[in-house]
Amino acid sequence: MWETILQSLAATMTVANLVALSAGGIMGIIVGIIPGIGPMVGMVIILPFTYSLPPNIALSVLLGIFCGGYFGGGIPAILLRTPGVPSSMMTALDGYPLTQQGEGQLALSAAIVGSFAGGIISVILLMLMAPALSKVAVSFSSPEYCMIAVFGLVVVLVMNRKQIARGALLTALGLWFSTVGIDSGTLVPRFDFGSVEMQNGLNIAPMCLGFFGIGQSLLLLERKVLQTETMALTRRALDFSKIIAVLKYWLTLIKSGVIGTIVGLIPGTGSITASFFSYYEAKRSSRNPESFGKGTPEGCLASEAGNNAVPGGAMIPLLTLGIPGDPISALLLGIFTINGIFPGPLLLVNEPVLIYTIYFSLILINIVAFITLALFLRPFATIVRLPSAIIAISVMVISLLGIYSMNLNTFEMAVAITMGVVGYVFLRLEWPIVPWVLGFVLGPIIEQRLRESLSISRGNPLIFVTRPISLGMVIVCILIVIIPMLVDWKKNRVANG
C-alpha cells in the first residue's frame, strides 16, 4: 500500500506530469473564463494531441482543463453577470450584486476558495468511495453492467423530462451512431452506406469535437454573449484578507463539496444541478437566507464548491464501473481505452499506481488553479474581452487540424464539420444534447453487455429481472421515471386548482 502511494507520488511529481497538469489547469481557466467555450470544448480541442501521450500525462492535461474550467467560469459570472460555464449562473446571482456594491474582491475570493475546497473535498470522497464501490462491483456481471449503463441513460432522460420524447429520440440517435462500422462480434459491416471509411466506425474525437467545438463556435459567430462591457477589477491579485473572511463559511463549503460530489457520481446530472442544489441548501441552512440573491459571498462559495466537486464525483463511476456519467468523463474513458486500460472494478487492483497518480494529480490541479487565479486574477479576467467571433474561428481551425493530425485523413475532418452543423442545429433549437453524447458513448457498452447477457440466458430477456442487483436497477429505473412524472402531475393539478 505505502509502496504504491510512494510510487504514485513519484509519478505525480515528475516534471512532465507537473507541466501537463499546470498547462491543463491554466488552459482550463482560460476556456472557462471565455463565455460559450467552457471545459468541454477545451478538452475536445486538446484530445487529439493527448493520444500519443502516456495515460497519466494525458489524463493530467484533460483533468486540468476539466477542473480549471470550473475555476475560471465563476470570474465572468461575478464581474460581468455572464457565466463562463453554465453552472456558474448560480454564482452570478450573488457575485454580480457584490461587484456592483464594490465587493468584487470578496465575491471572487468566495468563488475561488469555494472552487478549491469543492475540488479537494471531492478528491477525498473519491479516494474513500472508489475502493468501496469497486468491492461491490466485483460481483457484477453483464446484466448488471448493461442495466447500470441503461440507468445512466434513463437519468439523463428524466433530467430532460420536459422534452422527454426528443431526449429519447436523441439518445437513440446517439446509440445508432455507435453501431456504424464493422461489428466487433461478427465482423459484419453495419450502416457504412458503401463507404470504406465508414467501416472503421465513427471515432469519438471528431464526433465530440464537431458537436461541441465546431457546433458551439458556429453559434458564437451570431450571438453576442457578453451582457455588459464594464468590468470592475482594481487589483491584479486576490486580496488575501478577503480569503480569510470567507473561511467563516466553512460548514457551507464542506456541505456544498459533498453535495457536488454526490451529484457528480450520478450519471447525467452534471455541474448545473450540483451548483443549483448546493446554492439552495446553503440558502436553506443559512442564518441570513434573505441575503441570497442580493449579494452574499456564501452564495458564490456554495455554488462554486458544488460545481467544482463534480469532476471528482464523476470519476467514481468511471473508475469503478467503467461507465462515464457525462460527456467529459466519456472523453477520459477514451484515453483509458486507447492505452489498453479498461476502467472497472479490477482497475484499482490492476493499476493502483495510475489511480493514485490521478488522485494526487487532481489535488495538485486544484492547488495550481487556486494559486494561478489568486496571483494573476486581472490578466486572466481580461481574456473575457476577446471578441467571441475571433475566438470561434480560431477554435475551428485548431479543432480541425487536431482531428487531421490523429489519422492524417480528411474523412474525419468531414465528420467533424458535419457533426458541427448537427450540433449547431441542436444547440440553436435548444434540444438536449447530453442524451445524444451519452447514447453514443454508452452504446457499445450496452450492446456488448446486452449480447453477453442474452448469450448467458440463451436468448431469454428475463435474465435482467431474475438477478437481484439487475432487478434492483430495473426497479430504480422505473421509479425514477414514474416519481418525477407523478410529482409534475400533482404540481399541475394544484396549479390548475
Partner 1 sequence: MENTEQRAPQGPNPNSQIHDLLSTILGVFAGMLLVTLNLQIGEPAANYPFYKGPKIFPILVLAVMVVSSLPSLYRLIRTFGRSNWWLDGYGWPVKPAIVTFLLVLFFIFGISWIGMEAAVLFFLILSLLVLGYRQIGIVFIYPLLYTIIIVVLFKYALKIWFPEPLILNLFGV
Q: Which of 452, 481, 424, 110 is nearest to 291 (CA)?
A: 110
Beta strands in 153-252 (DSSP E): 181-182, 189-190
DSSP alpha helix (H) spans, 339-467: 347-350, 352-375, 377-381, 388-407, 410-428, 434-456, 463-466
Distance in Å, CB of 185 to partner 1, minimum: 7
Q: Which is nearer to partner 1, 369 or 450 (CB)?
A: 450
Selection from 28, 23, 25, 29 nearest residue 75 by Cα: 29
Q: Give the residue with the Cβ less far from partner 1, 20 or 113.
A: 20
Distance of CA 450 to the CA centre of its chain: 26
To the nearest whole angstrom, how small is the minimum distance from the Cβ of residue 367 to partner 1? Answer: 28
State the nearest-atom distance from the C-beta of 282 to partner 1, in Å: 30
Residues 395 and 378: their CA atoms lie apart, in Å, by 23
User: Cβ of residue 468: shortest distance to partner 1, in angstroms?
Assistant: 23
In the bound state with partner 1, the residue whose beta carbon lies nearer, of 233 and 389, is: 389
* Contact partners, residue 235, CB within 8 Å, separation at least 6: 105, 377, 378
Phi, psi of 351 (to 5 degrees): -130, 55
Distance between CA atoms of residues 291 and 31, nearest Å: 31
Please say which residue, 194 or 497, places its beta carbon nearer to partner 1.
194
Question: What's the min distance (Å) between Cβ of 78 and partner 1?
Answer: 25
Nearer CB in complex with partner 1: 106/159:
159
Q: Which is nearer to partner 1, 248 or 491 (CB)?
A: 491
Side-chain-side CA neighbours of 360 within 13 Å: the count stands at 21
User: How many Cβ atoms from other residues are within 10 Å of residue 124's Cβ?
Assistant: 16
Single-letter amino acid, residue 473: M
In the complex, the smallest distance separating the C-beta of residue 417 from partner 1, rounded to whole angstroms, is: 5
> What residues line the site for partner 1 (CB under 8 A)?
49, 165-166, 168-169, 171-173, 175-176, 179, 183, 185-191, 193, 214, 218-219, 221-223, 389-390, 393-394, 396-398, 400-401, 404-405, 408, 410, 413-414, 417, 420-421, 424-425, 428-431, 443, 446-447, 450-451, 454-455, 459
Kindly tell me which of 354 and 450 has the beta carbon lying closer to partner 1.
450
Find the shortest distance in angstroms from Cβ 20 to partner 1.
15
Minimal distance, residue 34 CB to partner 1, in Å: 16
**Chain length of the chain:** 497
> What is the rounded distance in angstroms from the CA atom of residue 479 to the CA atom of residue 344?
26
Angle at which helices 38-50 and 55-80 pack, to 10 degrees?
160
Minimum distance from residue 478 beta carbon to partner 1 (Å): 17
The CB-of-259 to partner 1 minimum distance in angstroms stands at 30
- Toward partner 1, which CB reaches closer, 58 or 219? 219
Find, among 63, 75, 69, 67, the residue nearest to 112 by Cα.
75
For 192-249, where are the alpha helices, taking DSSP H only?
A: 196-199, 204-208, 215-220, 240-246
| Of 259, 307, 239, nearest in space to 77 by CA | 307
| 286 versus 448: smaller Cβ distance to partner 1 | 448
Q: Is the distance from CB of 88 to CB of 304 less than 8 angstroms?
A: yes
